[in-house]
Structure 1
Amino acid sequence: MFDFEADKISQMVDTYIIPWGINIVFALLIYIIGKMVVGVLIGVFGKVMARSKYDDMLIDFIKAILRAILMLFVIVASLDRLGVDTTSLVAILGAAGLAIGLSLQGSLQNFAAGVMLLVFRPFKAGDFIEAGGAVGVVKSISIFTTVMTTGDNKEIIVPNGSIYGGNITNYSAKETRRVDMVVGIGYDSDLKKAKAILNEMVAADDRILKDPAPTVAVAELADSSVNFVVRPWVASGDFWPVKFDFTEAVKLRFDEEGISIPFPQMDVHVHKDD
């Protein structure tokens, strides 16, 4: 009887315990070694991306996604070694991924746009831009949204899909900008004197660059005025101060010199019938 029990136990050990033990050991080895290999690969990928000067947030996010995908393969390989039917598991994961993708279609669009913005960097934090129907200074760029601050200190959160899907105007991309102004004088005013005054004012402002040279020219003989275009080049940070200061200075100087700045007028002629 004891021999029968011993044979039965020996048979169970040979049939189940040893094969399953070996499979468990190999599955653990696959998981441990696979995890180590994934860690090494992620580390190398992070160093390569860091040398390429990509955004740290983008690097961390891609590393997290890559780590999850690689670890999924490691887990599937470990389960396959244990004899688990991984075909059904992969099919279930695929179906779940498809369902999640369809339900989060808008979010995935913003995610893809965020990745493209972080890779190609059409703007960075601190730039003054116009994009996605908003104008302001970029405060931060995340995977799904971009946060901007307006001139009156309002915070705007814009989906990245709206930004990347339209035109992006980056006013801070260049070190210099051209200030485009139009100054009108009356037809009875001295044209040459007005032009000389404008050139003198442009030359006297230290914020206006000498190269490229500013432009002062007669641009249009309008209905009620002769219009000059005044186009000086300035550092990007001086754009609005120069525009505001110059506009005020032109009005004050023209008043001193007796040069009229016309405004729209309408003459009404009344005909009286007997």
Structure 2
Amino acid sequence: MENAQSSAQRVYDQMLTFATIYGGSVLLAIVTLIVGLWLISWIIKVLSSVMTNRHVDRDVQPFLLSLVSGLLRVLLLLSIASTLGVATTSFVAIIGAAGLAVGLALQGSLANFAGGVLILIFKPFRVGDLINAQGFTGNVEAIRIFDTTLVTLDNKTIILPNGPLSTSAITNISTKGTIRVDQVYTVGSQNDIDATEASIRRVVDACPFALKDRTHDVLITKLNANSRDYDVRVWTKSETYWETHYYMLENVARQFGKDDILAPKPQLFVTSE
């Protein structure tokens, strides 16, 4: 009986000693945990509100919020461990080594992830836009966090990694809503200048895709030995760029045939020694 009482007394003394030595640290750690979680929740709400007010794409908001939340929670756990007297140097070293290893292994994927975030935030193009990038021209079908999908005019699907895409030149044909279709037509110098221009003008005026409130140009851009180059500039809506392009090519050829506008005559130069 006395042994049991003695053991209970020792346990009580040990608990009292532990509470005296570590009680304040444990209590402070608990308070830090509660306050820290509340602060993290408040920061995430404020950040979400700011991104919504600044019209940050809703597809990228969850990624950014979860990333910030995860980083803040790691910092909170390190702070609590430090409060309890646990050496955090080893934890930091382990996290750093693991981060370095993962970063090296996923270097390309991380670059694509960062590129996707930048594209979704700054919006150099949107879904449905006609763009030229990385040597490809097509309509943007989807913007994902790691890659962007284009559908070319011949209905091929092109998948472009977001890393290189976010750091290279992009031509967005759809941004302004209107675009100019530039073409060059070469005719023989034997054709009358006014007649040639009038023939091209008939096609421009009949083009259903040409904007009626814009001025379209038909200009002589170059005089060759036996031909003239006409620079034809037609304004149209961005989404009808290719319709305008092909309409002009086909119908200018037809109109030249109707108006007897002739192609350049071949020249043969014969010299004798």
Q: Verify same fold: TM over 0.5.
A: yes
Percent identity for Structure 1 against Structure 2: 35
Alignment of 1:18-37 (within 5 A): 24=26, 26-37=28-39
Residue of structure 1 in register with 2:202 after alignment: 200
What TM-score comes out, normalization by structure 2 length?
A: 0.87
Inter-CA distance 186–60: structure 2 relative to 1 (3 Å threshold):
same
Does residue 261 (structure 1) correspond to residue 263 (structure 2)? The answer is yes
Distance 1:4 1:201 in 2: 110
Does residue 89 (structure 1) correspond to residue 91 (structure 2)? The answer is yes
Provide, for residues 176-215 of structure 1, a one-character-per-residue CA deviation record: whole Å limited to 9, x for no partner. Answer: 1111112222222222211122223323334322443111
Distance 1:18 1:128 in 2: 70
Q: CA deviation at 1:253?
A: 1.9
Distance 1:173 1:105 in 2: 32
Residue of structure 2 in register with 1:180 after alignment: 182
How many residues were matched structurally?
270
Q: CA deviation at 1:171?
A: 0.8
What TM-score comes out, normalization by structure 1 length?
A: 0.87
Provide, for residues 94-121 of structure 1, a one-character-per-residue CA deviation record: whole Å limited to 9, x for no partner. Answer: 2221222233222222222222222221
Distance 2:150 2:24 in 1: 58
Q: CA deviation at 1:16?
A: 2.9
SS at match of 2:184: strand
Name the aligned partner's letter for residue 207 of structure 1.
F
Give the stretch that moved more between structures: 46-55 or 80-89.
Answer: 80-89
Name the aligned partner's letter for residue 175 of structure 1.
G
Does residue 249 (structure 1) correspond to residue 226 (structure 2)? The answer is no
Q: CA deviation at 1:42?
A: 0.5
Inter-CA distance 187–23: structure 2 relative to 1 (3 Å threshold):
same
Residue of structure 2 in register with 1:41 after alignment: 43
Residue of structure 2 in register with 1:117 after alignment: 119
Q: CA deviation at 1:157?
A: 1.4
SS at match of 2:176: coil
Q: CA deviation at 1:231?
A: 0.9
Residue of structure 2 in register with 1:52 after alignment: 54
Provide, for residues 44-91 of structure 1, a one-character-per-residue CA deviation record: whole Å limited to 9, x for no partner. Answer: 110110110011122111101100011112222333344322222122
SS at match of 1:189: coil
Alignment of 1:220-235 (within 5 A): 220-235=222-237
Residue of structure 2 in register with 1:146 after alignment: 148
Provide, for residues 11-45 of structure 1, a one-character-per-residue CA deviation record: whole Å limited to 9, x for no partner. Answer: 12212367567655554443343223211210111
Does residue 62 (structure 1) correspond to residue 64 (structure 2)? The answer is yes
SS at match of 1:56: coil
SS at match of 1:179: strand
Inter-CA distance 29–116: structure 2 relative to 1 (3 Å threshold):
same
Q: CA deviation at 1:4?
A: 3.8
Distance 2:251 2:151 in 1: 30
SS at match of 1:53: coil
Distance 1:158 1:53 in 2: 25
Provide, for residues 220-261 of structure 1, a one-character-per-residue CA deviation record: whole Å limited to 9, x for no partner. Answer: 222442221111211112222122122222222221222213
Question: Is there any run of 5+ residues in structure 2 with no aligned partner, and where?
Answer: none
Name the aligned partner's letter for residue 228 of structure 2.
V
SS at match of 2:139: strand
Residue of structure 2 in register with 1:11 after alignment: 13
Residue of structure 1 in register with 2:79 after alignment: 77
Inter-CA distance 258–6: structure 2 relative to 1 (3 Å threshold):
closer
Distance 1:154 1:204 in 2: 32
Name the aligned partner's letter for residue 200 of structure 2.
L
RMSD of the TM alignment (CA)?
2.6
Contact 2:200-2:255 at 8 Å conserved across structures:
no
Give the stretch that moved more between structures: 74-83 or 157-166.
Answer: 74-83
